[in-house]
Amino acid sequence: MSKPIVAIIGKPNVGKSTFFNYIVGKRISIVEDTPGVTRDRVYAETNWRGKTFTMIDTGRD
């Protein structure tokens, strides 16, 4: 059975990458105050509260 996929989507510059890094437990996505810094999707395998899944930081809205 494949792992679930969770994608973070939303308006620019609202903390998507910060949330992604928090859930993953590492600083993978670049976090800046400037909108549009994360342009490509960033993927990470993670485990949150006993559930393993793939998380995607979409970067753009």
pLDDT at residue 55, as a whole number: 95
The parts of the chain modelled with pLDDT lower than 50 are none
Model pTM?
A: 0.80
pLDDT at residue 14, as a whole number: 85
Q: CA 50 to CA 38: how far, in whole Å?
A: 28
Instruction: Please say whether the beta carbons of 58 and 41 come within 8 A.
Output: yes
Kindly list the strands in the beta sheet with 51-57, ordered across the sheet, starting from the edge strand earlier in the chain. Answer: 5-8, 51-57, 42-48
Q: Outline where the chain has alpha helix (H).
A: 16-24
Q: What angle do CA 2, 56, 49 make, to 5 degrees?
A: 65
pLDDT at residue 31, as a whole number: 75
pLDDT at residue 10, as a whole number: 86
pLDDT at residue 20, as a whole number: 92
The domain locations on the chain are 1-39
pLDDT at residue 38, as a whole number: 62
